[in-house]
Amino acid sequence: MAARWIETLTGSLEQKKQYKQDKARIDALPEPYGAAAKAVHRYLMYCGGMTDGDTLVTMFGDLADLWERAAIDGTPVREIVGDDPVEFAEAFARAYAGKQWIDKERARLTKAIEDAERKEEE
Amino acid sequence: MGKQITEMLKGTLEGLVLAILALRPAYGYEITARLREQGFSDIAEGTVYALLVRVEQRGLVDVEKVPSEKGPPRRVYSLNPSGQEYLDEFWRTWTFLAERLEQLHTEPAEGES
Note whether B81 and B89 are within 8 A (CB).
no
Neighbouring residues of B81: CB distance < 8 A, sequence distance ≥ 6: none
Task: Quote the pLDDT of residue B99.
Answer: 95
Question: Which tens digit of pLDDT belongs to each residue from A32-82?
Answer: 999 999 999 999 888 766 667 777 888 888 899 899 989 998 989 998 998
Share of chain B above pLDDT 70, in %: 94
Question: Which tens digit of pLDDT belongs to each residue from B23-39?
Answer: 999 988 899 999 989 88
Task: Quote the pLDDT of residue B71.
Answer: 75
Output the CA angle B107-B109-B112, nearest 5 degrees.
115
B30 to chain A, any CB pair closer than 8 A? The answer is no
CA distance B53 to B29: 14
Kindly determine whether residue B49 and residue A66, on different chains, have CB atoms separated by under 8 Å. Answer: yes
Query: Burial of B79 by CB count in 10 Å (0-12 exposed, 13-18 middle, 19+ buried)?
Result: buried
Q: With CA atoms as reference, report the closest residue to B31 among B22, B12, B4.
A: B22
Kindly determine whether residue A66 and residue B46, on different chains, have CB atoms separated by under 8 Å. Answer: yes
Q: Which residues of A touch B44 (CB under 8 A)?
A: 78-83, 88
pTM listed for this prediction: 0.76
Neighbouring residues of A23: CB distance < 8 A, sequence distance ≥ 6: A41, A60
How many angstroms separate the first and last alpha carbons of chain A?
54
Task: Quote the pLDDT of residue B111.
Answer: 62
